[in-house]
Structure 1
Amino acid sequence: MMINSTQVSYFTLSAYFDTGLFKYLCFMIVMSLYVLIVGSNLLLVVVICMNRSLHEPMYLFLCSLFVNELVGSSGLFPFLLVQILSDSHTVSAPLCFLQIFCVHYYGAVEYLNLAVMSYDRYLAICYPLQYNTRMTYNKIATLIALTWLCPCCAMVVLMSLTSSLQLCRNTIYKVYCDTHSVVKLSCSDINVINVYGLIATFSTIFGSLLLILFSYVRILRVCFSGSKQTRQKAVSTCTPHLASLLNFSVGACFEVSQSRFNMSTLPNVLRIFLSLYFLTCPPLFNPVLYGLNLSKIRVIFKSLISNAA
């Protein structure tokens, strides 16, 4: 359907399909996932903030990570719940652009946060005696601020470029809004936004991965030449981080593949699952990964449960 760009006040999400009465079951499943994600991440944020023994760099960066999981899931799940019960599957243009901001902002902050966490582990393992002087509270605050502010500035520019496009169509072939889907609807020149998108993506993802790679190369060198205690410390603190990085990267690859390549041969349910993976699985599994693997958090949880009992 060709329409004038000034008349695009809403978008139609065509990836939804009629599930009949099963939509109420889908609603309950998605609602349960959202409650679980919010409850687990919020609980860990409160535990870290309320316990002074956890006011260490690693746990403060974790707190930033859990807050970001809340941002990403809240940018998707309330919208998803409304669409599941809706019959029209349309979304207003302002709400669509707001969701684009939340989803892409979440992805950028996640990668930067994981990069900063790898740098923190590098200092803790490679320079244990100098760790407290190198990782000061001012440095922690600066790193967390940059993790959140840099993607925000990048997203403001991206949203400005996206919202200024002249759109000729209003049908998005997904269950939520994203930049690439909206850009494909444009009948104006998209070279500028494509170049900016590539630069921003390359800077965020590959910049973060380079810092992570550098950190772990140095950590491995110390582990191979260090004591058994050093290797145990590295394994206990780095394993959750690597699992979290792998989980999010797999989801991001699914999302990029869906956006850049034709996946029409795949079943619709599978395509929906792949597109939602990076917004659902990391926020769901990260609290479990860190809650079970980090001894300080386990001890505090046990004390809370015993006090409650």
Structure 2
Amino acid sequence: MENRTPPFYFNLTMFVNIRHYRLVAFTFCVLLYSFIVSANLLLILVITQHRALHQPMYMFIALLSLNSLYGSTGFFPRFLMDLLADVHLIPYPACFIQIYVIYTYSCNDLTILSVMAYDRYVAVCHPLHYYRKITPKTVVVLSVLAWIFPALLVASVISASAQLSLCGNEIQKIFCANWNVIKLSCVSIDVINILGMIVTITTIFFPLSYVVYSYLRIFLVCWKQTAEFKGKVLQTCLPHLVSFIVHCVTGFCDIALSRFQLEEKNPLAAVILSLEFVVIPPVLNPLVYALNLPDIRRHKHKVSK
């Protein structure tokens, strides 16, 4: 009699490609997760403890680090358990919770980066009106919206996906992803495709477009200014720009992986690419901001002593 996986579970099939390296991968990922947690917590601690850093730009940086902790915690504990397990089954509810956390983490990053782009745009292009436009109330409102807006939109897509009748339970990935679940559907997915397109446009393309627009305006203002002015703008904008580019590249790799079925051609490359957007931004963000912003670097040394 053929054994069947209980329908209450999904089977994450991509772990078979790293079974020979799982102890090495587990050790490396534990160290990586420890670094992500400690580096982002340190950055948040530095910003919250020093009144000199209680400015909009630094508060948004702390929000970005908080989101990195949120996304990493939603991914790494389960991933580390699966690395050591012989069977990689995940219950339906846990799978959809993981999808929700990972997708909201990614969308939150983009909305926070777009809010930070607005902050830099006002600071560079309208410096005399900065403290009138970027008030403490504005910072709170923008921060809340940056979290709530993606949360509601992602919840709508995942709720629709959870209602689908599925004809299989195998997910070709090392974590649950919405598109991989949708591909298992036995019924039409036209409505979900339309809903997913709306969510993609509002949570990805709108923020991306605004960040590009903001930096075009900043570039035009800097074009006519002195070298000293350009240096100051570069010092504050470069970390944000690096974070934005890294998020775009890693996000594109994950989308390409889902659509072009790389796991069938090069499974190991598929595993590595699927990890990029949940690993690289949380690792890189605290390094970029701590090393490039002198105010954070100076106060970080005080906390570390």
- Alignment partner, residue 79 of structure 1: 78
What's the secondary structure of 1:244's corresponding residue?
helix
Query: For residue 212 of structure 1, what is the amino acid of its counterpart?
Result: V
Q: Is the 8 A contact 1:125 1:230 kept in 2?
A: no
Q: Is the 8 A contact 2:35 2:283 kept in 1?
A: yes
**Does residue 1:94 correspond to 2:82, yes or no?**
no
Count of equivalent residues: 303
- Alignment partner, residue 31 of structure 2: 32
What's the secondary structure of 1:176's corresponding residue?
coil
What's the secondary structure of 2:14's corresponding residue?
coil
What's the secondary structure of 2:90's corresponding residue?
strand
Per-residue Cα deviation, 1:57-114 (whole angstroms, up to 9, x for no partner): 0001111100111111111111110100000111111110110000100111011111
* In structure 2, distance between residues paired with 1:13 and 1:166: 19
What's the secondary structure of 1:45's corresponding residue?
helix
- Alignment partner, residue 215 of structure 2: 216
- Alignment partner, residue 260 of structure 1: 259
Q: How does 1:1-309 map to 2 (within 5 A)?
A: 8-17=7-16, 22-264=21-263, 266-305=265-304, 308=305
Query: For residue 129 of structure 2, what is the amino acid of its counterpart?
Result: Q
What's the secondary structure of 1:129's corresponding residue?
helix
Per-residue Cα deviation, 1:134-188 (whole angstroms, up to 9, x for no partner): 1111111111111000011112211210110101100000000010000001101
Unaligned ranges ≥5, structure 1: none
Q: Is the 8 A contact 2:75 2:278 kept in 1?
A: yes
* In structure 1, distance between residues paired with 2:67 and 2:282: 9
What's the secondary structure of 1:12's corresponding residue?
strand
* Superposed CA RMSD: 1.7
Q: Is the 8 A contact 2:172 2:263 kept in 1?
A: no
Identity of aligned residues (%): 37
TM-score when normalising by structure 1: 0.94
* In structure 2, distance between residues paired with 1:244 and 1:100: 23
What's the secondary structure of 1:165's corresponding residue?
coil
* In structure 1, distance between residues paired with 2:73 and 2:99: 12
Per the TM alignment, residue 8 of structure 1 is displaced from its structure 2 partner at its CA by: 2.6
* In structure 2, distance between residues paired with 1:151 and 1:23: 34
Q: Is the 8 A contact 1:8 1:167 kept in 2?
A: no
Q: Is the 8 A contact 1:183 1:190 kept in 2?
A: yes
What's the secondary structure of 1:247's corresponding residue?
helix
TM-score when normalising by structure 2: 0.95
Per the TM alignment, residue 19 of structure 1 is displaced from its structure 2 partner at its CA by: 5.2
